[in-house]
Amino acid sequence: APPTAPPTAPPTAPPTAPPPARPTAPPTAPPTAPPTAPPTTAKPTEGLKCRKPCKQKKKLRKLRKKYKKGKLPRYVDVNIKDIVSYCDLKTSKCCVKDNPKAKLCKL
């Protein structure tokens, strides 16, 4: 008997490229519980970093007019009665910049 050819396998799909490698994330620390802080009633003031910004509407009147005309940025350094402060001209609130003991709200 003549030798027979081995049975042929059905045609297979062409090999596909492996999926793209995912970037490996660096190991992360286990999740920790968020610090429990007492709830605050005041909204945090964007840009100002002190706990209780002081409203200084009268003292910022001229600067606010310039801000509204686009001549000044929203956040500026202001010297109020020899207290260097960082103020938000949109809200008229200020934080003492360098001296945490200064009583800006009392002015």
90-101 pLDDT per residue, tens: 999 999 988 878
Residue 88 has pLDDT above 90, yes or no: yes
Lowest mean pLDDT among 18-22, 39-43, 46-50, 99-103: 39-43
State the Cα torsion 58-79-89-64 to the nearest 10°: 60
Confidence of residue 29 (pLDDT cuts 50, 70, 90): low
Per-residue pLDDT at 19: 58
The arithmetic mean of pLDDT across residues 1-13, rounded, is 59
The span from the CA of 1 to the CA of 80, in Å, is 112
pTM for the complete prediction? 0.55
The span from the CA of 85 to the CA of 80, in Å, is 7
